[in-house]
Structure 1
Amino acid sequence: MKRLVVILCVLLLQFALGGSGQCRGTLRVAASEFPPSVIFDDDGTVRGYDALFLGRLAEGLNLRLKIEHYPFQRALRLLQTGEVDAMLGVQYRPEREQFAYYLDPPYVTEATTAFYVLTGKENLIRKYEDLYGLTVGTSIGVKYFPRFDNDPRLRKEPVRGGKMNFLRLLAGRVDAVAMDDVGGDYRVWEFGLTDKVCKAKYMSSEPQNVYLVLSRRSRFMPQREEIQEVLAQLLRTGVREQCMLEHIDQEAALAGRMPPNLIRAGNRHLKTGIVPPPDEPEGRGHKAPPLSLPPVCP
């Protein structure tokens, strides 16, 4: 019944915006990989709950969708030149307003940073102060939370990829790995480390708005109010949460199983709306073939 209400709301909104079922063009969205939000497979398949959510947004606007894989900084440059229409996973920075229009509301409002340690050492970090004296693996360019980011007394060693951090943890080169808790849980499962790596007791939750932004050079700028209205309606009616559940089902089908901690994390975030990609998620350094979703357009 709830799903039917959501679909009806979107269809009514689509009608109110003048949607007649005719395709209004292709929306090109740049995104960096951040499992389980956005996942780019080697064969060009794009998965993840926010990939699904962008598909629902495109449906509501009668648009085709292409999700293209770029490292974060390159995606920003393409947004600036208008070579892509939109970008996923952007935090507010005043200087970015010159070329990026922040679509309101943000689709994420809070971030939780976890610290991953070797199994059996979960009590190594029970409070923030326990980080002092430890070597913490981080990712280049990623923002975590202000106290951690700006603390000169911490010993942080950044690398480009999340997998490298976990390899360094296993080798004893770092004492802990800092990562978003849902993304981190997914990585631990993906890399087959569930029996070797766990989360420390201490985690930090901070307010953090993450936006879908529109290039000010995009041909869709005149429709920005329509896009915001559809986006707000989808968020209000729980469509993003539905996409999370769909993604969990898809991953379970692909892998034949889904680790209980990821299911619990998904359920927790369904209630809180928290599943935050960081401001500058890691990229593979290359562009994957785009995801094309023409659910409405012929």
Structure 2
Amino acid sequence: MFELIRKVCCCLQKEGHPLPFLFIFLVLSSQVSAKDIEVRVGFSHFPPWQTSEGKNWTGGLDKLILDKLVVELEKKHDIHLRIIPKKCPLKRCLRELQMGALDLKTGLLKQGNREEYLAFIEPPYQSHTNKVIYYNPARMNDIKRISDLYGYRIGVARGATTFPEFDQDTRIQKIPINGTSNGLKLVCVNRLDAFVGTELVMDYILSKKENCTHLRKTSLIYKSQTAGYFAISKLSPLVEILPQLNNTMDQLVKSGEIDQLVETFKRK
């Protein structure tokens, strides 16, 4: 960069240009004012938040939000982030964040000792997740209260927790199933009456199943107050711009842009 500036200034002087030093000042000022930061982002295949093909991060809600964050950060704070995605299972991503081998991870909860080595971008980009029930209208009617589930076979992902009223009610016949996708498939083919799970996950799965368009979402919806965050390693250069990251995320949340993106992933 400086060699290029020197050559340009020499040319300006040979041509008798009176302001070579002003040129130097303007170029250097632009370099100082704009920040360009390489950001190593860990991701997993966790649809609909993060989708991938091989080692490539192809899409998902988190990627769309990160893209918006990058654009707004540059527009409002003159900070450019160069995103370098790296696919890793959650535990490995967390370990690399702790060591400083990764800079950022999306879709994280504040739990355990994570705040010891992570700085969470505030506010959370997702303040809650909806737990819903999909049912086969040929086998049962809409569910408006928990007691409407009595007498039916309700699938739930093995080992999962949904919401207290459902989990703790022993009068509901709960059928453990290996995975949400398998559970919805069983509802489709009339082997279960309904399946309970996370709304966005089930909406995404059903959008890929053309033979399940007859399934319906119940009126009973539970908001799980589990906040999802973008978080950065405390060993990352991003720590220096945490106030700007917080400010930009706050604007995206308050403007409703993130809610609009979430709605595009819901089954209509």
TM-score, scaled relative to structure 2: 0.69
Q: Structure 2 vs 1, CA of residues 45 and 30 (structure 1 numbering), >3 Å: closer, same or farther?
A: closer
> Where does 1:123-162 land on structure 2 (aligned, <5 Å)?
123=141, 125-131=143-149, 134-139=152-157, 143-149=161-167, 155=174, 157-160=176-179, 162=180
Instruction: Name stretches of at least 5 consecutive residues in structure 2 with no aligned partner.
Output: 1-30, 74-78
Structure 1 window deviating more from structure 2 (133-142 vs 62-71): it is 133-142
Q: Structure 2 vs 1, CA of residues 19 and 177 (structure 1 numbering), >3 Å: closer, same or farther?
A: farther
* Backbone CA RMSD of aligned residues: 3.4
Pick the aligned partner of 2:39 from 19, 26, 45.
26
Report the equivalent of 1:79: 97
Aligned to 2:162, the other structure's residue is in SS state: coil
> Where does 1:42-121 land on structure 2 (aligned, <5 Å)?
44=56, 46-59=58-71, 60=73, 61-121=79-139
Aligned-partner Cα distance in 2 for 1:169–1:53: 32
Structure 1 window deviating more from structure 2 (39-48 vs 187-196): it is 39-48
Instruction: Name stretches of at least 5 consecutive residues in structure 1 with no aligned partner.
Output: 1-17, 252-260, 265-298
> Where does 1:214-229 land on structure 2 (aligned, <5 Å)?
214-229=232-247
Aligned-partner Cα distance in 1 for 2:153–2:96: 35
Asked whether the 8 Å contact 1:29–1:68 carries over to 2, the reply is: yes
Asked whether the 8 Å contact 1:114–1:180 carries over to 2, the reply is: yes
Q: CA deviation at 1:63?
A: 0.6
Q: CA deviation at 1:135?
A: 4.7
Q: Structure 2 vs 1, CA of residues 87 and 26 (structure 1 numbering), >3 Å: closer, same or farther?
A: closer
TM-score, scaled relative to structure 1: 0.63
Aligned-partner Cα distance in 1 for 2:184–2:222: 20
Q: CA deviation at 1:115?
A: 0.9
Question: Which structure is larger by alpha-carbon Rg, 1 or 2?
Answer: 2
Q: Structure 2 vs 1, CA of residues 93 and 123 (structure 1 numbering), >3 Å: closer, same or farther?
A: same
Aligned to 1:87, the other structure's residue is in SS state: strand
> Aligned pair 1:203/2:203, yes or no?
no
Asked whether the 8 Å contact 1:122–1:201 carries over to 2, the reply is: no
Name the aligned partner's letter for residue 220 of structure 1. L
Asked whether the 8 Å contact 2:124–2:228 carries over to 1, the reply is: yes
Structure 1 window deviating more from structure 2 (26-35 vs 144-153): it is 144-153
Q: Structure 2 vs 1, CA of residues 39 and 96 (structure 1 numbering), >3 Å: closer, same or farther?
A: same
- Taking only the aligned residue pairs, the percentage that are identical comes to 22
Aligned to 1:230, the other structure's residue is in SS state: helix
Q: CA deviation at 1:122?
A: 4.8
Aligned-partner Cα distance in 1 for 2:162–2:122: 22
Asked whether the 8 Å contact 2:134–2:215 carries over to 1, the reply is: yes
Aligned to 1:202, the other structure's residue is in SS state: coil
Name the aligned partner's letter for residue 178 of structure 2. V
Q: Structure 2 vs 1, CA of residues 228 and 129 (structure 1 numbering), >3 Å: closer, same or farther?
A: same
> Where does 1:223-262 land on structure 2 (aligned, <5 Å)?
223-241=241-259, 243=261, 248=264, 262=267
Aligned-partner Cα distance in 2 for 1:112–1:26: 31
Q: Structure 2 vs 1, CA of residues 46 and 217 (structure 1 numbering), >3 Å: closer, same or farther?
A: same
How many residue pairs align between the two structures? 231
Aligned to 1:63, the other structure's residue is in SS state: strand
